[in-house]
């Protein structure tokens, strides 16, 4: 952390003494934003704010925004309206940050329509939050701290994590891919990788604190660039696997175009790496993929998935799919369904194409009508759901290693854990079982969205 920000943190801390001030953060978007919010929370706690869940109790409200799809904007405006009301009855600082604040039009809109917003910060200026909050309190200034150029990487920000047995570790920032539908490269800047030693130090620290599961994060993790010793993503995975105490390692998102053999080997050779691999497909049609600038064909994707199935026994896949990309025909959409049938994904995150101003695809005139997009979405959902039972049946009478995550939501006597393919399993605990433990169970029953098991 920069020295001057530490000073501001101390100044705000001193100002806040004896006031028992509370903060709340609303995080929208992906796990990278979640991880940023954990750092925001870390800074706020050092400034003597404590967390509250109910926004009505808060003296400081932070919205960490996402702009990957359109509906986020409506939601944000609704939330800002709520805070406006709250501000009528008490002093509340409202700070809005995250990806949406990297869009100039959005910042202008907020400044014009919601002049009571105290701080606007971008994705490259997260570390300046102490200074910005100080200015908002002491000088009652409206602060806008958004820069367009890629931010440097700031190490050593304080962090308050959401869980105490699983943790996310960002390994790289930004994206260079410019998929034609996607706003992320515009709001997160170019790819910047963290020093591998810094990443390993963080993971070792987490292991010491008792964390069991690590998720390595980046928009494109397999284009991670290290140094002479730990050169690339495969090397990094191998090193993270050596950290004692860490039982499980996940990563999101890899890009199929960069899924090299050494990464496949690293997964195959390390049982700690989860056997569910997120492999974003987006579309199953080669022409659409080309227009999306994804840099792989339907066949290349299928060959990659097959190769991984051969080399990593028991591997399953999850994916992201967009329906209704501009110009997509019914026939081209059939290719997406075909890939879904062939790969048999365990989990699909399905999205209706959403036009993002400034991207290449948004300028196209052949946008797919809304109703058609919805018809395709429903078809994809039906296909996926029709396969869930069959996919679950594969687990019956198999032995699965579970990481215990907590109490079952429906039955207080039962605990819940996840397999290394991300399946939720409910089971009756033995004495001494606790959150974060790894146990072996036999799967005895399947239900649509969870399995039941018995400890062996």
Going by their DSSP bridges, the two strands 399-407 and 438-446 should be labelled as antiparallel
Q: ∠ CA 277-278-281 to the nearest 5 degrees?
A: 130
Residue 351 Cβ vs ligand F3S, minimum distance, rounded to whole Å: 11
CB nearer to ligand SF4: give 178 or 349: 178
What number of CA atoms fall less than 13 Å from residue 34's CA on the CB side?
Answer: 13
Residue 71 Cβ vs ligand F3S, minimum distance, rounded to whole Å: 12
CA 219/CA 344 separation, integer angstroms: 24
Using CB under 6 A as the binding rule, whether residue 278 contacts ligand SF4 is answered as: no
Going by their DSSP bridges, the two strands 399-407 and 415-418 should be labelled as antiparallel
Q: Which listed option, ligand SAH, ligand F3S, ligand SF4, none, makes contact with residue 354 (CB within 5 to 8 Å by class)?
A: ligand SAH
Handedness of CA 186, 189, 191, 194 (dihedral sign): negative
Could you list the residues that contact ligand F3S (CB under 6 A)? 29-30, 32-33, 66-68, 99, 184, 187-188
Among 184, 316, 368, 443, binds ligand SAH (CB under 6 A): 184
Provide the 3-class DSSP secondary structure of residue 305: helix
- Please identify which residue in the block is written with the tokens 């175009």: 257
Fill in the per-residue mask, 198 to 237: x = in contact with ligand SAH (CB under 6 A), - = not in contact.
---------------------xx-----------------
Using CB under 6 A as the binding rule, whether residue 255 contacts ligand SF4 is answered as: yes
Using CB under 6 A as the binding rule, whether residue 445 contacts ligand SAH is answered as: no
CA 225/CA 244 separation, integer angstroms: 24
Provide the 3-class DSSP secondary structure of residue 193: strand
Exposure b/e, 165-194, CB count within 10 A at least 16 = b: bbbbbbbbbbbebebbbbbbbbbbbebebb
Using CB under 6 A as the binding rule, whether residue 289 contacts ligand SAH is answered as: no
Binding-site size for ligand SF4 (CB under 6 A) equals: 10
Using CB under 6 A as the binding rule, whether residue 323 contacts ligand SF4 is answered as: no
Residue 187 Cβ vs ligand SAH, minimum distance, rounded to whole Å: 11
| Dmax (CA) of the chain | 66
Q: Which listed option, ligand F3S, ligand SAH, ligand SF4, none, makes contact with residue 443 (CB within 5 to 8 Å by class)?
A: none
Of 152-160, 230-238, 349-357, 422-430, which segment contacts ligand SAH by CB under 6 A? 349-357
The gap from C-alpha 4 to its chain's centroid, in whole angstroms, comes to: 30
Q: Which listed option, ligand SAH, ligand F3S, ligand SF4, none, makes contact with residue 441 (CB within 5 to 8 Å by class)?
A: none
CA 289/CA 312 separation, integer angstroms: 26
* Residue closest to 246 by CA, chosen among 213, 197, 273, 216: 213
Answer yes or no: are the C-beta atoms of 206 and 168 closer than 8 Å: no
- Please identify which residue in the block is written with the tokens 């953060």: 25
Structure-derived torsion over alpha carbons of residues 36, 64, 43, 169, reported in degrees to the nearest 10: -10
What number of CA atoms fall less than 13 Å from residue 175's CA on the CB side?
Answer: 22
CB nearer to ligand SF4: give 68 or 95: 68
Using CB under 6 A as the binding rule, whether residue 69 contacts ligand SAH is answered as: yes
Q: Which listed option, ligand F3S, ligand SF4, ligand SAH, none, makes contact with residue 32 (CB within 5 to 8 Å by class)?
A: ligand F3S
List, edge to edge, every strand of the sheet that includes 276-278. Answer: 276-278, 316-323, 347-352
CB nearer to ligand SF4: give 179 or 368: 179
E strand intervals along 213-302: 213-217, 248-252, 276-278
Residue 309 Cβ vs ligand SF4, minimum distance, rounded to whole Å: 23
Q: Which listed option, ligand SF4, ligand F3S, ligand SAH, none, makes contact with residue 99 (CB within 5 to 8 Å by class)?
A: ligand F3S
Of 104-112, 120-128, 346-354, 434-442, which segment contacts ligand SAH by CB under 6 A? 346-354
Among 260, 318, 354, 422, binds ligand SAH (CB under 6 A): 354
Using CB under 6 A as the binding rule, whether residue 356 contacts ligand SAH is answered as: yes
Among 351, 387, 391, 407, binds ligand SAH (CB under 6 A): 351
Using CB under 6 A as the binding rule, whether residue 179 contacts ligand SF4 is answered as: yes
Residue 283 Cβ vs ligand SAH, minimum distance, rounded to whole Å: 10
Going by their DSSP bridges, the two strands 424-427 and 347-352 should be labelled as unpaired
- Residues in 180-219 that interact with ligand SF4 by CB under 6 A: 182, 184-185, 219
- Please identify which residue in the block is written with the tokens 């997120």: 278
The contact set with ligand SF4 (CB under 6 A) reads 175, 177-179, 182, 184-185, 219-220, 255
The contact set with ligand SAH (CB under 6 A) reads 68-69, 181-182, 184, 219-220, 253, 255, 280, 282, 320, 322, 351, 353-354, 356
């Amino acid at each position: 952390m920069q020295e001057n920000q530490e000073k501001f943190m101390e100044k705000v801390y001193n100002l806040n003494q004896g006031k028992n001030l509370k903060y709340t953060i609303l995080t929208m978007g992906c796990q990278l934003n979640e991880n940023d919010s954990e750092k925001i929370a870390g800074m706020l706690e050092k400034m003597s704010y404590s967390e509250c869940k109910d926004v009505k109790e808060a003296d400081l409200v932070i919205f960490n925004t996402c702009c990957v799809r359109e509906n986020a904007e409506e939601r944000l405006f609704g939330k800002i309206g709520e805070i406006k009301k709250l501000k009528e009855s008490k002093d509340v600082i409202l700070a809005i940050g995250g990806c949406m604040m990297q869009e100039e039009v959005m910042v202008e809109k907020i400044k014009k329509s919601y002049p009571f917003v105290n701080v606007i910060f971008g994705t490259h200026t997260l570390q300046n939050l102490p200074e910005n909050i100080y200015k908002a309190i002491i000088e009652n200034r409206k602060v806008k701290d958004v820069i367009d150029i890629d931010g440097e990487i700031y190490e050593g920000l304080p962090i308050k994590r959401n869980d105490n047995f699983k943790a996310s570790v960002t390994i790289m920032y930004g994206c260079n891919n410019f998929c034609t539908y996607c706003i992320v490269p515009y709001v997160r800047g170019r790819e910047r990788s963290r020093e591998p030693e810094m990443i390993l130090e963080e993971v070792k620290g987490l292991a010491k604190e008792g964390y069991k599961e690590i998720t390595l994060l980046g928009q494109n993790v397999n284009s991670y660039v290290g140094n002479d010793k730990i050169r690339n993503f495969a090397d990094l995975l191998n090193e993270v696997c050596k950290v004692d105490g860490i039982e499980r390692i996940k990563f999101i998102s890899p890009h199929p175009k960069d899924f090299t053999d050494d990464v496949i080997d690293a997964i195959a050779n390390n049982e700690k790496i989860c056997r569910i691999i997120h492999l974003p497909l987006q579309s199953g049609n080669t022409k659409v993929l080309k227009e999306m600038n994804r840099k792989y064909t339907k066949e290349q994707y299928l060959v990659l998935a097959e190769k991984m199935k051969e080399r990593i026994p028991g591997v399953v896949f999850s994916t992201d799919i967009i329906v209704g990309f501009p110009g997509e025909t019914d026939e081209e959409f059939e290719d997406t369904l075909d890939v879904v049938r062939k790969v048999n994904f365990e989990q699909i995150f399905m999205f209706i194409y959403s036009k993002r101003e400034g991207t290449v695809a948004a300028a196209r005139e052949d946008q797919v009508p809304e109703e058609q997009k919805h018809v395709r979405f429903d078809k994809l959902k039906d296909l996926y759901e029709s396969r869930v039972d069959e996919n679950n049946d594969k687990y019956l009478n198999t032995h699965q290693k579970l990481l215990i995550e907590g109490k079952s939501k429906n039955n207080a006597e039962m605990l819940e854990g996840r397999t290394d393919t991300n399946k939720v399993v409910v089971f009756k605990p033995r004495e001494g079982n606790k959150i974060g433990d790894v146990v072996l169970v036999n799967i005895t029953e399947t239900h649509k969205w969870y399995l039941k098991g018995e400890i062996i």
